Amino acid sequence: MRLVPGVAAASRLPPGDVPVQVTAPLTVAGT
């Protein structure tokens, strides 16, 4: 899986506070 810019920002957010805007690209990158 490649790290996209949103992933770095997501890792700084508290658990359970990851927006769909970050989760969606992360899912695409994982496939």
Q: What is the DSSP string of 4-26?
A: PHHHHHHHTSPTT---HHHHHHH
Determine the structural domain holding residue 25 and report its residue range: 1-31
The token duo for 12 is 């700084």
Angle at 18 between CA 15 and CA 22, to 5 degrees: 145
Mean pLDDT score across all residues of the chain: 59
pLDDT-derived band at 28 (thresholds 50, 70, 90) equals low
Q: How many domains does the chain have?
A: 1
pLDDT-derived band at 3 (thresholds 50, 70, 90) equals low
Beta carbons within 10 angstroms of residue 18's beta carbon: 16
Q: Quick check: 13 pLDDT over 60?
A: no
